[in-house]
Structure 1
Amino acid sequence: MINRQSRAPVGAAAVDPVSPPHVALVEDDQLLRDRLVAPGLRDFGFRVSAVGTVKELEQLLSTDEPDIVVLDVGLPDGDGFSLAERLHLSSRIGIVMLSGRHTQEDRVRGLSNGADAYLAKPVVMHELAATLRNLMRRLRPPPLRSVTAAAWRLDSQGWCLVAPNGVSIALKAHERAMLRALLDVPGEPVSREALIAAVGGDEQFDPHRIEVLVYRLRSKVGTKAGVVLPLSAVRGSGYVFTM
């Protein structure tokens, strides 16, 4: 039985706001769990504990409570809807249901039982990552600070690029590393060598991969935020991010 009566009160600062969010992935399909969803979430900067049964989740809750549970409906030893309800009533863990059952009735039941979001399979990793990031912002609200003007920035956890229009774009690890290097010196060129080092490249790293990374990042931002990413090539120097 899941029992989290020792939970912290609302507003308690029990979690380091910059530590990687801990996600428990509860999915009995081993291939989907271990080859697709868990590695995909890690690529987006989450710490993932992947389990396949309710019993394994209960063991995890007793030793290393996650921030969010991503929960399948059909499990070999339990019902995801009932499990979501128990988690909702006994803890402050975020709940995202990820299921092949996606009728309106299923969605309403999941949300009514306490899920914060209900997503349908097949999983779209960008959508799942963005959903988890949005939920984490509610679970770990950033400190209040004044904002003088709209500008491109990384969110408080550094894993989403926020456009001036307020749209957040979930980033992969190499995208985040490159943007941090560029946003540290806005308006100043950053060499390809520096960007290669930022993304963890070595002497065998193909410099053209930076060009591919920039192209894909521009395309992602244009598609998801509807604006142009102000990241430009500087002949002979590298790239520059203009705010």
Structure 2
Amino acid sequence: MTLATPMRLVLLEDDDLVRDRILAPKLVQFGFEVVATGTVAGLREAIQQGPPDLFVLDIGLPDGDGFSLARELRATHAGTGIIMLTGRSDTVDRVRGLFEGADAYLAKPVEIDVLVATLYSVARRLQPSTAPRPRGRWALSPDEWFLLSPGGAQVMLTRGERRLLEVMFQHVGEVVARDALIAALTDDVLAFDPHRLDSMVHRLRRKVLAALGEPLPLNAVHGAGYVIEA
């Protein structure tokens, strides 16, 4: 199975707990390649390892400040998205952050779905896709991180949901065996609890219905697997 190349993201957050236990794992779950650091020096080292697609910056840092860093990064990385994520929610700070070069300014605490949606929104603005947007049927977006409804509405997917739907859309109208879906979700099929597949499908259908107002036509075939009608 071929997956789209994940976007590379440098996360600069000096709070170890927030960075390593909350933000970085959640962003990885949503498919980003995350390099997490707590210092400006660490960010510079990360850039040397390869140009990122996105920066997420805090403002208060032990060896610098996010405002100056955003200005510098905007000058040197014009095509890279910059999102400021900080505890400072004052309008003055928000305006300054955007003026210095940030594409978006979010105040902590932020829901991970809001952060991820902002990251993808910024990425799409900077690098708009030339592929036509599928309409009239259920489909994955060109970057495969959003599910598109027949009417063109979209809902963001987790990495597991994305892999599940990628396989399903390769076999529209056909029953896909449970074993095949599990193999798409994990490298260790023997250690994978089959009930996790059912739970994932249940959560996905519930999320789609809540977000888009219409049911995803992904249905179980007793004793065999799942089928989707696009």
TM over 0.5: yes
Matched residue, 2:81: 94
Task: Write out per-residue CA displacement over residues 39-97 of structure 1, whole angstroms, 9 at most, x where no aligned residue.
Answer: 11111111111111112212322342211100111111212122112222332221011
- Between structures 1 and 2, the one with greater helix share: 2
Q: Gaps spanning 5+ residues in structure 2: where?
A: none
Q: Does 1:192 align with 2:208?
A: no
Q: Aligned equivalents of 2:19 and 2:207: distance in 1?
A: 25
Q: Aligned equivalents of 1:146 and 1:232: distance in 2?
A: 25
Matched residue, 1:20: 6
Asked if 2 retains the 8 angstrom alpha-carbon contact of 1:22 and 1:47, the reply is yes
Matched residue, 2:153: 167
Matched residue, 2:113: 126
Task: Write out per-residue CA displacement over residues 211-230 of structure 1, whole angstroms, 9 at most, x where no aligned residue.
Answer: 11111111222233333222
Asked if 2 retains the 8 angstrom alpha-carbon contact of 1:130 and 1:169, the reply is no
Task: Write out per-residue CA displacement over residues 107-148 of structure 1, whole angstroms, 9 at most, x where no aligned residue.
Answer: 22222222111122123222212221222222332234475x
Greater displacement, 203-212 / 177-186: 203-212
Count of paired positions: 226
- The residue correspondences of 1:150-229 to structure 2 (distance < 5 A) are 150-200=136-186, 202-229=189-216
**3-state SS, counterpart of residue 141 of structure 1:** coil
Q: Aligned equivalents of 1:228 and 1:128: distance in 2?
A: 25
Asked if 2 retains the 8 angstrom alpha-carbon contact of 1:18 and 1:156, the reply is no
Q: Does 1:64 align with 2:64?
A: no
**3-state SS, counterpart of residue 66 of structure 1:** coil
The structure 2 residue matched to 1:34, chosen from 10, 20, 26, is: 20
**3-state SS, counterpart of residue 34 of structure 1:** helix
- Give 1:229's aligned amino acid: L
Structure 2 length normalisation: TM-score?
0.89
- Give 2:141's aligned amino acid: D
Matched residue, 2:32: 46
**Are the structure 2 counterparts of residues 220 and 103 from structure 1 closer, same or farther at C-alpha, using a change threshold of 3 Å?**
farther
The structure 2 residue matched to 1:108, chosen from 86, 92, 95, is: 95
Matched residue, 2:227: 240
Structure 1 length normalisation: TM-score?
0.85
Q: Aligned equivalents of 2:184 and 2:219: distance in 1?
A: 18
The sequence identity of aligned pairs, in percent, is 48
Greater displacement, 104-113 / 42-51: 104-113
Asked if 1 retains the 8 angstrom alpha-carbon contact of 2:133 and 2:141, the reply is no
Runs of 4+ aligned residues of structure 1 deviating over 6 Å after TM superposition are none
Task: Write out per-residue CA displacement over residues 182-232 of structure 1, whole angstroms, 9 at most, x where no aligned residue.
Answer: 111112221222211221151243222211111111122223333322211
Q: Aligned equivalents of 1:144 and 1:208: distance in 2?
A: 36
Q: Aligned equivalents of 2:208 and 2:65: distance in 1?
A: 38
